[in-house]
Protein backbone atom coordinates (compact mmCIF):
# COMPACT_ATOMS: atom_id res chain seq x y z
CA UNK A 1 0.00 0.00 0.00
CA UNK A 2 1.15 3.55 -0.68
CA UNK A 3 0.28 4.65 2.81
CA UNK A 4 -1.37 3.42 6.01
CA UNK A 5 -3.52 5.45 8.39
CA UNK A 6 -3.74 4.61 12.11
CA UNK A 7 -6.87 5.77 13.94
CA UNK A 8 -6.77 5.61 17.74
CA UNK A 9 -9.87 5.78 19.93
CA UNK A 10 -9.02 5.64 23.61
CA UNK A 11 -10.23 5.77 27.17
CA UNK A 12 -8.92 8.72 29.17
CA UNK A 13 -5.97 7.54 31.25
CA UNK A 14 -5.14 4.62 28.96
CA UNK A 15 -2.32 6.52 27.26
CA UNK A 16 -3.82 6.40 23.78
CA UNK A 17 -2.81 9.95 22.90
CA UNK A 18 0.76 9.42 24.17
CA UNK A 19 1.02 6.17 22.22
CA UNK A 20 -0.18 7.99 19.11
CA UNK A 21 2.59 10.56 19.54
CA UNK A 22 5.13 7.77 20.06
CA UNK A 23 4.03 6.09 16.83
CA UNK A 24 4.17 9.36 14.92
CA UNK A 25 7.78 9.94 15.94
CA UNK A 26 8.90 6.33 15.50
CA UNK A 27 7.26 5.87 12.09
CA UNK A 28 7.99 9.37 10.84
CA UNK A 29 4.37 10.13 10.01
CA UNK A 30 2.04 13.01 10.85
CA UNK A 31 -0.03 13.16 14.02
CA UNK A 32 -3.49 14.75 14.06
CA UNK A 33 -5.60 15.46 17.10
CA UNK A 34 -7.14 18.86 17.79
CA UNK A 35 -5.46 20.12 14.61
CA UNK A 36 -8.51 18.67 12.86
CA UNK A 37 -10.72 21.28 14.54
CA UNK A 38 -8.48 24.09 13.29
CA UNK A 39 -8.41 22.63 9.78
CA UNK A 40 -12.19 22.15 9.71
CA UNK A 41 -12.64 25.73 10.90
CA UNK A 42 -10.39 27.05 8.14
CA UNK A 43 -12.16 24.94 5.52
CA UNK A 44 -15.68 25.90 6.56
CA UNK A 45 -15.17 29.44 7.81
CA UNK A 46 -16.93 28.45 11.06
CA UNK A 47 -15.21 29.64 14.24
CA UNK A 48 -13.12 27.07 16.12
CA UNK A 49 -15.02 27.63 19.36
CA UNK A 50 -18.15 26.13 17.82
CA UNK A 51 -16.28 22.94 16.94
CA UNK A 52 -14.97 22.81 20.50
CA UNK A 53 -18.51 23.14 21.78
CA UNK A 54 -19.56 19.95 20.00
CA UNK A 55 -16.59 18.08 21.50
CA UNK A 56 -17.30 19.27 25.02
CA UNK A 57 -21.07 19.28 25.27
CA UNK A 58 -22.38 16.44 23.14
CA UNK A 59 -22.92 14.52 26.39
CA UNK A 60 -25.80 16.87 27.11
CA UNK A 61 -27.66 15.29 24.20
CA UNK A 62 -29.86 12.26 24.95
CA UNK A 63 -28.51 8.89 23.76
CA UNK A 64 -31.77 8.22 21.93
CA UNK A 65 -31.03 10.35 18.88
CA UNK A 66 -32.78 10.91 15.59
CA UNK A 67 -31.43 8.89 12.69
CA UNK A 68 -31.10 12.18 10.82
CA UNK A 69 -28.19 13.09 13.10
CA UNK A 70 -26.03 10.17 11.93
CA UNK A 71 -23.15 11.13 9.65
CA UNK A 72 -23.90 10.75 5.95
CA UNK A 73 -21.03 12.72 4.42
CA UNK A 74 -23.27 15.56 3.24
CA UNK A 75 -22.29 19.15 3.99
CA UNK A 76 -24.93 21.80 4.68
CA UNK A 77 -24.45 25.00 2.60
CA UNK A 78 -23.61 28.34 4.30
CA UNK A 79 -26.98 29.88 3.42
CA UNK A 80 -28.81 27.26 5.49
CA UNK A 81 -29.88 28.00 9.06
CA UNK A 82 -28.34 24.63 9.97
CA UNK A 83 -24.88 25.53 8.65
CA UNK A 84 -23.44 25.70 12.19
CA UNK A 85 -25.46 22.76 13.51
CA UNK A 86 -23.64 20.03 15.43
CA UNK A 87 -24.24 17.62 12.55
CA UNK A 88 -22.57 19.94 10.04
CA UNK A 89 -19.66 20.63 12.39
CA UNK A 90 -19.08 16.90 12.65
CA UNK A 91 -19.35 16.55 8.87
CA UNK A 92 -16.65 19.15 8.29
CA UNK A 93 -14.32 17.36 10.69
CA UNK A 94 -15.10 14.11 8.85
CA UNK A 95 -14.28 15.80 5.54
CA UNK A 96 -10.83 16.75 6.86
CA UNK A 97 -10.25 13.23 8.22
CA UNK A 98 -11.08 11.71 4.83
CA UNK A 99 -8.80 14.13 3.00
CA UNK A 100 -5.91 13.30 5.31
CA UNK A 101 -6.50 9.56 4.93
CA UNK A 102 -6.47 9.83 1.16
CA UNK A 103 -3.14 11.63 0.88
CA UNK A 104 -0.72 10.42 3.58
CA UNK A 105 0.25 7.96 6.28
CA UNK A 106 -0.69 9.45 9.64
CA UNK A 107 -2.06 8.91 13.13
CA UNK A 108 -5.54 10.31 13.82
CA UNK A 109 -6.77 10.54 17.41
CA UNK A 110 -10.46 10.15 18.24
CA UNK A 111 -13.37 11.90 16.48
CA UNK A 112 -14.91 8.58 15.36
CA UNK A 113 -12.27 8.34 12.63
CA UNK A 114 -12.53 4.54 12.71
CA UNK A 115 -16.16 4.78 11.56
CA UNK A 116 -15.71 7.71 9.18
CA UNK A 117 -12.94 5.78 7.43
CA UNK A 118 -15.05 2.69 6.86
CA UNK A 119 -13.55 -0.69 6.04
CA UNK A 120 -15.03 -0.89 2.55
CA UNK A 121 -13.76 2.44 1.24
CA UNK A 122 -10.56 2.67 3.29
CA UNK A 123 -8.81 -0.72 3.43
CA UNK A 124 -5.52 1.02 4.24
CA UNK A 125 -6.74 2.14 7.68
CA UNK A 126 -5.74 0.40 10.92
CA UNK A 127 -8.47 1.02 13.51
CA UNK A 128 -7.22 0.81 17.11
CA UNK A 129 -8.95 1.09 20.49
CA UNK A 130 -6.68 1.63 23.51
CA UNK A 131 -8.11 0.83 26.92
CA UNK A 132 -6.85 -0.05 30.42
CA UNK A 133 -7.97 -1.24 33.83
CA UNK A 134 -9.80 1.24 36.04
CA UNK A 135 -6.91 1.30 38.53
CA UNK A 136 -4.39 2.07 35.77
CA UNK A 137 -6.56 4.85 34.40
CA UNK A 138 -7.03 6.37 37.84
CA UNK A 139 -3.27 6.43 38.42
CA UNK A 140 -2.50 7.92 35.02
CA UNK A 141 -5.27 10.52 35.29
CA UNK A 142 -3.98 11.59 38.72
CA UNK A 143 -0.70 12.59 37.05
CA UNK A 144 -2.53 15.13 34.90
CA UNK A 145 -5.51 16.25 36.96
CA UNK A 146 -5.34 18.21 40.20
CA UNK A 147 -8.34 16.47 41.68
CA UNK A 148 -9.21 14.14 44.55
CA UNK A 149 -9.60 10.41 43.80
CA UNK A 150 -13.37 10.75 43.92
CA UNK A 151 -13.30 13.71 41.55
CA UNK A 152 -11.04 11.80 39.14
CA UNK A 153 -13.42 8.84 39.26
CA UNK A 154 -16.35 11.09 38.35
CA UNK A 155 -14.31 12.74 35.60
CA UNK A 156 -13.46 9.38 34.00
CA UNK A 157 -17.07 8.22 34.17
CA UNK A 158 -18.26 11.46 32.58
CA UNK A 159 -15.61 11.31 29.85
CA UNK A 160 -16.51 7.71 28.97
CA UNK A 161 -20.17 8.67 28.77
CA UNK A 162 -19.40 11.72 26.60
CA UNK A 163 -17.40 9.67 24.11
CA UNK A 164 -20.00 6.92 24.01
CA UNK A 165 -22.82 9.36 23.31
CA UNK A 166 -20.77 11.29 20.75
CA UNK A 167 -20.14 8.07 18.83
CA UNK A 168 -23.73 6.88 19.07
CA UNK A 169 -25.10 10.22 18.00
CA UNK A 170 -23.02 10.69 14.87
CA UNK A 171 -22.27 7.13 13.74
CA UNK A 172 -24.95 4.95 15.36
CA UNK A 173 -22.19 2.69 16.71
CA UNK A 174 -20.86 1.85 20.15
CA UNK A 175 -17.61 3.68 20.90
CA UNK A 176 -15.98 0.85 22.88
CA UNK A 177 -17.31 -2.16 20.93
CA UNK A 178 -14.37 -4.39 19.86
CA UNK A 179 -16.25 -5.23 16.66
CA UNK A 180 -15.59 -1.70 15.43
CA UNK A 181 -11.79 -2.03 15.60
CA UNK A 182 -8.94 -4.05 14.11
CA UNK A 183 -6.93 -3.97 17.34
CA UNK A 184 -8.24 -3.71 20.93
CA UNK A 185 -5.24 -3.18 23.19
CA UNK A 186 -4.90 -3.00 26.97
CA UNK A 187 -2.16 -0.63 28.17
CA UNK A 188 -2.40 -1.92 31.74
CA UNK A 189 -1.33 -5.35 30.43
CA UNK A 190 1.05 -4.48 27.60
CA UNK A 191 2.42 -1.14 28.80
CA UNK A 192 2.93 1.89 26.57
CA UNK A 193 5.82 0.35 24.65
CA UNK A 194 3.99 -2.95 24.21
CA UNK A 195 0.93 -1.28 22.72
CA UNK A 196 3.09 0.89 20.47
CA UNK A 197 5.08 -2.13 19.28
CA UNK A 198 1.92 -4.14 18.52
CA UNK A 199 0.46 -1.31 16.42
CA UNK A 200 3.80 -0.69 14.72
CA UNK A 201 4.10 -4.35 13.74
CA UNK A 202 0.61 -4.34 12.21
CA UNK A 203 1.37 -1.06 10.43
CA UNK A 204 4.42 -2.53 8.68
CA UNK A 205 2.51 -5.70 7.83
CA UNK A 206 -0.16 -3.62 6.09
CA UNK A 207 2.47 -1.65 4.17
CA UNK A 208 3.84 -4.82 2.58
CA UNK A 209 0.48 -5.91 1.18
The residue segments making up the domain with residue 10 are 5-207
3-state secondary structure of 124: coil
pLDDT at 60: 40
Q: How far apart are CA 104 and CA 152, in angstroms?
A: 37
Q: How far apart are CA 181 and CA 207, in angstroms?
A: 18
pLDDT, tens digit, for every residue of 52-65? 766 644 544 443 33
Count of structural domains, the chain: 1
Count of residues in the chain: 209
pTM: 0.89
| DSSP conformational letter for 69 | G
With contact defined as beta carbons under 8 Å apart, do 12 and 142 qualify? no
Res. 66 pLDDT band, cuts 50 70 90:
very low
pLDDT at 139: 97
Q: How many CA atoms lie within 13 A of 166 on its CB side?
A: 25
Q: How far apart are CA 37 and CA 128, in angstroms?
A: 21
12-16, 20-24, 80-84, 149-153: least confidently modelled range: 80-84
Q: How many CA atoms lie within 13 A of 6 on its CB side?
A: 33
| DSSP conformational letter for 73 | S
**Domain with 183 in it: what CATH number?**
3.40.50.300
DSSP β-ladder status, 30-32 and 183-186: unpaired
Amino acid sequence: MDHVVITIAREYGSGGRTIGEMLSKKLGISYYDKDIIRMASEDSGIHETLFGRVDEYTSAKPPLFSKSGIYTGELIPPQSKDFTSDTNLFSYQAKIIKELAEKESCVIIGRCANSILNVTDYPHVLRVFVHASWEFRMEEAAKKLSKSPREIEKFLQKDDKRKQEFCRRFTGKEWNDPENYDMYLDTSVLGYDGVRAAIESRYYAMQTK
